[in-house]
Chains A and B, each alone.
Chain A
Amino acid sequence: MDSFRPHNEAELAQLLSVPGPAFELLAGGTKRSIGRPMDAPILDLSGLSGIVDYQPGELVLTARPATALVEIEAVLAAQRQRLGFEPPAATLLDASRQQTLGGVLMANSSGSRRVTAGSARDHFLGFRAVNGRGEAFVGGGRVVKNVTGFDLPKALAGSWGTLAALTEVTVRLVPAAESESTLLFASTSVDAAVDLCSQGLGSMFEVSAAAFVPDRGVALRLEGLVSSVQSRIAGLLATMGRTVHTQLAADESRRFWQRIGAAEALAGCAVIWRLSVAPRQAARILDDIEPETFQLDWGGGLMWVGTRHLDARRVRGALRGGHATLIRAPEAERCANAVFEPQAPAIAAIAARFKAAFDPQNRLNPGRMS
Chain B
Amino acid sequence: MLAPMICLPQPDAAIIARKAEILTGLRAILDAADVIDDDLLLRAYETDALTAYRQRPLAVVLPHTTEQVAAVLRYADREGLPIVPRGAGTSLSGGAVPVADAIVIGMGRFNRILEIDYADRCVVAQSGVTNLAISQAVAGRNFYYAPDPSSQIACTIGGNVAENSGGVHCLKYGLTTHNVLGVEMVTPQGEVLRLGGRHLDAGHYDLLGLMIGSEGLLGIVTEVTVRILPKPQTARAVLIGFATATGASACVADVIAAGIIPAGLEMMDGPAIRAAEDFVQAGYPLDVEAVLIVELDGPQAEVDELIGRVTGLAKRHGATSCRASADEAERLRFWAGRKAAFPAVGRISPDYLCMDGSIPRRQLASVLQSIAELSSRHGLRVANVFHAGDGNLHPLILYDANRPGELDRAEAFGSDILRLCVDAGGVLTGEHGVGIEKRDLMTYQFGPTDLEVQHRIKRVFDPQLRFNPGKVFPTLSRCSEQGREHVHAAVTRHAGLPRF
Contacts and interface: CB of A to CB of B under 8 A. Distances in A.
Interface of A: 55-60, 80-81, 108, 110, 114-115, 118-119, 121-122, 131, 135-139, 141-152, 154-155, 157-159, 163, 174-176, 195, 198, 201-206, 224-225, 227-228, 231-232, 235, 276-280, 298, 301-302, 321-325, 340-341, 343-344, 346-347, 350-351, 353-355, 357-358, 369
A278 B459 CA distance: 33
Given A142-B360, A175-B261, A152 B298 contact: no
A125 to B, nearest CB: 10
Nearest to A119: B201
Contacts of A142: 360, 425
Contact of A350 (B209, B433, B461, B472): B461
A204 B447 CA distance: 46
Contact of A279 (B119, B177, B456): B119
Given A114-B200, A321-B199, A322-B197, A198 B121 contact: yes
Contacts of A279: 119-120
Given A143-B360, A278-B120, A228 B206 contact: no
Nearest to B163: A147
6 contacts: A119-B200, A146-B430, A147-B164, A151-B164, A225-B305, A323-B203
Given A144-B391, A147-B429, A148-B445, A201 B121 contact: yes
A73 B453 CA distance: 32
A56 B449 contact: no
A143 B361 CA distance: 9
B222 interface: no
Contact of B206 (A108, A118, A321, A341): A108
Nearest to A352: B460
A122 B204 contact: no
Given A343-B204, A357-B457, A151 B429 contact: no
Contacts of A298: 200
A304 B214 CA distance: 33
B487 interface: no
B142 interface: yes
Contact of A202 (B143, B233, B300, B434): B143
B175 interface: yes
B346 interface: no
Contacts of B429: 146-148
B256 A143 contact: no
A356 B358 CA distance: 32
B12 interface: no
Contacts of B195: 347
Category for how many chain B residues contact A:
35 or more
A206 B442 contact: no
B120 A121 contact: no
A118 B120 contact: no
Interface in B253-280: 253-254, 256-257, 259-261
Contacts of B359: 143
A202 B121 contact: yes
B244 to A, nearest CB: 19
Contacts of B143: 202
B302 A225 contact: yes
A228 B197 CA distance: 34
Shortest Cβ-Cβ A-B pairs, 10 listed: A323-B203, A154-B209, A175-B259, A341-B203, A228-B302, A278-B198, A322-B199, A357-B456, A321-B197, A57-B257
B464 to A, nearest CB: 14
B206 A154 contact: yes
B426 A143 contact: yes
B363 to A, nearest CB: 10
A138 B446 contact: yes
B472 A157 contact: no
Given A146-B429, A150-B214, A341-B204, 11 more contacts: A56-B257, A57-B361, A108-B206, A143-B426, A149-B472, A152-B454, A154-B210, A175-B259, A278-B199, A350-B207, A357-B459
A204 B201 contact: no
Contacts of B438: 148
Could you say which of B118, B202, B212, B430 has the most chain A C-beta atoms within 10 Å of its C-beta?
B202
Given A108-B206, A122-B174, A354-B207, A205 B261 contact: no
A176 B260 CA distance: 10
B318 interface: no
Nearest to A348: B204
Contacts of A159: 205-206
B337 interface: no
B25 interface: no
Interface string B159-176: 000011010001100110
Given A145-B430, A155-B205, A139 B450 contact: yes
Contact of A121 (B206, B257, B450): B206
B230 interface: yes
A295 B350 CA distance: 62
A137 B454 CA distance: 10
A300 to B, nearest CB: 9
B207 A347 contact: yes
A222 to B, nearest CB: 9
B232 interface: yes
Contact of B174 (A118, A149, A232, A341): A118
B428 interface: yes
A358 B200 CA distance: 25
Contacts of B362: 55, 57-58
B431 A145 contact: yes
B259 A148 contact: no
Contacts of B387: 145
Contacts of A56: 257
A155 B204 CA distance: 10
B128 to A, nearest CB: 21
Contacts of B488: none
B223 to A, nearest CB: 14
A138 B450 contact: yes
Contacts of B446: 138, 149
Nearest to B453: A137
A354 to B, nearest CB: 5
Contact of B202 (A158, A176, A235): A158
B213 interface: yes
A295 B201 CA distance: 18
B155 to A, nearest CB: 14
A323 B193 contact: no
B214 to A, nearest CB: 6
Interface string B279-312: 0000000000000000000111110011000000
A368 to B, nearest CB: 11
A347 B454 CA distance: 19
Contacts of A175: 259-261
B48 interface: no
A176 to B, nearest CB: 7
A278 B225 CA distance: 12
B468 interface: no
A344 B254 CA distance: 49
Contacts of B360: 55, 58, 60, 142-143
Contacts of A135: 449, 452-453
